[in-house]
Amino acid sequence: MKINQDLGDLTLDLVNISSVSQDEKAIADLVQESLSNLNHLKVTRIANSVVAQTNFGNSKRVVIAGHLDTVPANNNFPGKKTDTEITGLGSVDMKSGIAVALKLAHELTKSNFDITYLFYESEEIETKFNGLELITKQNKDLLNCDFAILMEPTNGIIEVGCQGSLRFEVSAKGNRAHSARWWNGENAIHALSPILEVINSYESREPVIDGYKFREGLQAVKINGGVAGNVVPDLVTMTINHRFAPDTTAKVAEENMRKLFINFDFKLMDAASAAPTGLNNELIKNFVKVISTPIAPKFGWTDVARFAAAGIPAINFGPGDPNLAHHPSEAVKIKQIEDVYSSLKKWLSN
């Protein structure tokens, strides 16, 4: 993999190295190899994550992070290059961001900051597989920094904070019987309507935090139930996803949901905290001033929350339209990849 080609071609090369979650060895090998002979970087490998650190002796350290994995292909692998775009699996989420970080890692042999580049595995699947989790366990000092930039797709604007996410199951119970003699049973599927009523009558809160409007949500995402075509079912379970704004902790969000579904069996599956906007932090203020692009709230959960939980201000800033992430027609404008690169280079050199 040649790093000193233009950013479009580098993105295409990265897209064409298959790296579906838990299959990142090939891409991690190439990333490690491309960085390990550079004098200004100290490279550490942890499983299939690669950490490259400068040691310029500056007082502040910045993390620039991106995940190496993608969701599974959907007739969009390998990728293609047009005059203006790179298309294909992961072009948006987030091989174009990885291309920017790799190029910066190569070219910035000095900066006003010390920089830790993090290329990590398995962000797209359960938290327990996340490369940052493994790095935290094995050598958490590698994540030390004053400010973190997650290169998740933001369409080249700065997205601040992120909403938290709760996933839980709510069940309705009944009694099993033959459907021909239904009066001997109690249908659990029919008992779902009050659960659906709670969901349908939920009014989503839209708090304005540091001037930016977030938007909470409550969505049924999965349903499981039924025995056979002639049986009154005795159990149905609905999985529900609640997205909550950064002014709410995961604990309070859980309490709110337990209250809302107080009449039903409630089982928490997982909880991910939200992250504050960080806009009162000096480093973020300076970043916003130098980069000078629009700012928006981040609705989806990202690893900024992980840094925020450790007290480290973090923002999302990367090429690619987040609406196209995980979409079969992922495509990123080459010009946007170049713009994000130039902005970061300018800030890191200013």
Whole-number Å distance between alpha carbons of 13 and 2: 9
Cβ of residue 324: shortest distance to Zn ion, in angstroms? 12
Which helix (H) or strand (E) segment holds residue 85: the answer is: strand 85-87
Cβ of residue 321: shortest distance to Zn ion, in angstroms? 13
Scanning the chain, the segments in alpha helix (DSSP H) are: 7-15, 25-36, 96-107, 131-139, 193-200, 250-260, 282-291, 304-309, 334-349
- 69 Cβ contact list (under 8 Å, min separation 6): 19, 20, 21, 22, 23, 24, 121, 122, 123, 124, 125
24 near Zn ion, rule: CB under 5 A: no
Query: How do strand 158-160 and strand 295-297 relate by DSSP bridges?
Result: parallel
Q: Segment contacting Zn ion (CB under 5 A): 73-81, 85-93, 253-261, 305-313?
A: 85-93
Mask of contacts with Zn ion, 136-175, x by CB under 5 A?
----------------x-----------------------
| Residue closer to Zn ion, measured from CB, 95 or 254 | 95
Whole-number Å distance between alpha carbons of 13 and 194: 51
Asked about 6 being catalytic, the answer comes back as no
254 near Zn ion, rule: CB under 5 A: no
Whole-number Å distance between alpha carbons of 136 and 266: 31
| Residue with token string 């949500």 | 217
| Residue closer to Zn ion, measured from CB, 198 or 333 | 333
| Residue closer to Zn ion, measured from CB, 130 or 281 | 130
Residues constituting the chain: 350
| Residue closer to Zn ion, measured from CB, 152 or 321 | 152
Give the number of residues in contact with Zn ion, rule: CB under 5 A.
3
Q: Segment contacting Zn ion (CB under 5 A): 86-94, 163-171, 248-256, 265-273?
A: 86-94
Question: 142-156 burial, b for 16+ CB within 10 Å, e for fewer?
Answer: bbebbbbbbbbbbbb
Q: Out of 123, 124, 321, 330, which one is annotated catalytic?
A: 123
| Residue closer to Zn ion, measured from CB, 71 or 199 | 71
Say how many Å lie between the first and final Cα of the chain, rounded: 29
303 near Zn ion, rule: CB under 5 A: no
93 near Zn ion, rule: CB under 5 A: yes
What order of strands is seen across the sheet that includes strand 265-272? 217-225, 235-244, 164-173, 265-272
Query: How do strand 49-53 and strand 114-120 relate by DSSP bridges?
Result: antiparallel
321 near Zn ion, rule: CB under 5 A: no
Whole-number Å distance between alpha carbons of 43 and 54: 9
Q: Segment contacting Zn ion (CB under 5 A): 57-65, 87-95, 127-135, 174-182?
A: 87-95
Q: Out of 13, 69, 124, 330, which one is annotated catalytic?
A: 69
Asked about 247 being catalytic, the answer comes back as no
Structure tokens at 244: 């909550």
Is the dihedral angle over the CA atoms 168, 122, 44, 348 positive or is it negative? negative
Contact 265, 195 (CB under 8 A): no
121 near Zn ion, rule: CB under 5 A: no
| Residue closer to Zn ion, measured from CB, 154 or 187 | 154
Cβ of residue 196: shortest distance to Zn ion, in angstroms? 31
| Residue closer to Zn ion, measured from CB, 93 or 133 | 93
Q: Segment contacting Zn ion (CB under 5 A): 36-44, 84-92, 94-102, 304-312?
A: 94-102
State which residue has the least CB distance to Zn ion.
93
Cβ of residue 65: shortest distance to Zn ion, in angstroms? 11
Cβ of residue 279: shortest distance to Zn ion, in angstroms? 22
Q: Which residues contribute to the site for Zn ion (CB under 5 A)?
A: 93-94, 152
Give the residue numbers annotated as catalytic, written as ranges. 69, 123
